[in-house]
Chain A
């Protein structure tokens, strides 16, 4: 049974990847969004020396808005192009959510690597505790993707998709964002990974809770 769901999830993931590489429905707009955001940050900062506290906030603003812009489209695309019924008729809801989560994870990690590289290149952002920084960014990303995917599924059924996403996502993502911004800021300033333990536990717990809730809720969202 679990094997069947995993097989179906991989099929959906591969289909989404193939579909995205052919249509560039999300990739092109996200690349432009990232380039514009990073350029605006560069112009806004000018030649001034900026502290890591502020730069960490700017980094997460770029990550949050880019992710929101991209991840919300996975389900919206299925609804707008009227393909969701064929998918619903052919697969279990758990497999659909897992496939979409996998696709969003790959998209989000690729996007965030790009943002990090560009951000470090154009600002004076330096990270003193690299391992702690990467751990918090990676776990934060898992939480962000998990929450964004279920919110995307919910808003895909609504008429005003564009406006509903930020309204729903902000309160849900707020605990994650506060924690991950604080943790990455501390790591960038050189605080040891063992001292980030509290933040890491919160991030892991948030990710587990939101993922479990997503799997419990999704069937009702998808099959209604």
Chain B
């Protein structure tokens, strides 16, 4: 089990003077899970981006602690995985090439024995093994979402962010997503931005972003 926790203090974010959320306090530790809810356009994805370190907060602080020591921001990405609709993987590469590239990058570019098995096993987990040598541009939107799911957990992250994880998934895809989320919850922090009732049931806590306006 990981010993990672996220601690936010008086977190606020605004764009061009318009407040998205303010004074948000949050503490979440390993084996805890949280859904971020709120109507469309109220700032769920913005909060996920801020927590994941993709954009800076306007005020307040975020710490990611490991064994009670704050991690340097450069180390955050090594601890996190993200599934979200606002990024893509490389269309011109195959599913295997994409995961292999990102797995090696996340391992600091080192060629490790067992890379190929790890990537193949992950492709199998998201039911894309048969299509692993096809370019991603030929994938359906559901297949692309499953590939992004594999990308999110490729480094066995301590913190997994899922923003609208059901997007484009059919019921089999949702089963895979649920299985991966529940598996992650056993050892790390799970944060899901969603309004879906079934997603909410995956998590122990809930935060309505509209309460921080």
Partners in one complex: yes
Q: How far is the CB of A216 from chain B (nearest CB, A)?
A: 15
Contacts A8-B108, A90-B106; A23 near B92 (Cβ below 8 A)? yes
Q: Tell me the chain B residues, 92-147 only, with Cβ under 8 Å from chain A.
A: 92-93, 97, 101-102, 104-106, 108-110, 135
Interface string of A87-125 (1 = CB under 8 A from B): 111111001000000000000000000000000000000
CA–CA, A5 and B74, complex, Å:
13
Stretch of B32-40, B83-91, B180-188 lying at the A interface: B83-91
A4 to B75 alpha-carbon distance, docked (Å): 14
Interface residue SS majority, chain A: helix
Cβ–Cβ < 8 Å partners of A84 in chain B = 87
- Complex interface: chain B residues within 8 A of A86 (CB): 87-89, 102, 151
Is B82 an interface residue, CB under 8 A from the partner?
yes
Q: Does A18 contact B (CB under 8 A)?
A: yes
Please tell me if the beta carbons of B110 and A15 are within 8 angstroms of each other in the complex.
no
A8 to B84, CA, bound (A): 24
Q: Write the nearest CB–CB distance from A92 to chain B, whole angstroms.
A: 7
Q: Which of B84, B89, B109 contacts A4 (CB 8 A)?
A: B109
In Å, the complex CA distance between A71 and B4 comes to 41
Q: How far is the CA of A90 from the CA of B52 in the complex (A)?
A: 12
| B91 & A81 in contact (Cβ 8 Å cutoff) | yes
Q: Is A15 a contact partner of B93 (Cβ separation < 8 A)? A: yes
In the complex, whether A85 has a CB less than 8 A from a CB of chain B is yes
A48 within 8 Å of B (CB atoms): no
Kindly identify which residue among A10, A23, A82, A83 contacts B109, using a CB–CB cutoff of 8 Å.
A10
Any chain B CB within 8 A of the CB of A11?
yes
Q: Can you sample 16 A-B contacts with CB below 8 Å?
A: A4-B110, A7-B108, A7-B109, A11-B109, A18-B93, A18-B97, A82-B87, A83-B87, A84-B87, A85-B82, A86-B151, A89-B80, A89-B82, A90-B102, A95-B109, A224-B56
CB pair B90 A15 closer than 8 Å: yes
A86 to B80 CA separation, bound complex (whole angstroms): 12
Q: B111 to nearest A CB, angstroms?
A: 8
Q: How far is the CB of A18 from chain B (nearest CB, A)?
A: 7
Beta-carbon nearest neighbor of A86 in chain B? B87
Contact of B93 with A4 in the complex, beta carbons under 8 Å: no
With a 10 A CB-CB cut-off, give which of A18, A87, A90 has the most chain B CB atoms: A90
Please give 15 more A-B residue pairs, beta carbons under 8 A apart, in addition to A22-B93, A81-B91, A90-B105.
A6-B109, A7-B109, A8-B108, A15-B93, A19-B90, A19-B93, A82-B86, A82-B87, A83-B88, A85-B84, A86-B88, A86-B151, A89-B77, A90-B77, A95-B105
Q: Which residue of A lies closest to B84 (CB)?
A: A85
Are B109 and A8 within 8 A (Cβ)?
A: yes
A224 / chain B contacts, CB cutoff of 8 Å = 55-56
Does B110 contact A7, Cβ atoms closer than 8 Å?
Answer: yes
Q: Contacts of B105 on A, CB cut-off 8 Å?
A: 8, 11-12, 87, 90-91, 95
Residues of chain B contacted by A8 (CB below 8 angstroms): 105, 108-109
B93-A82 in contact (CB<8A): no
Contact B92–A88 (Cβ < 8 Å): no
Residues of chain A within 8 A of B108, CB atoms compared: 4, 7-8
Name the residue among A12, A83, A86, A95 with the largest chain B CB count within 10 angstroms.
A86
The reply to whether the CB of B54 lies closer than 8 angstroms to some CB of chain A is yes
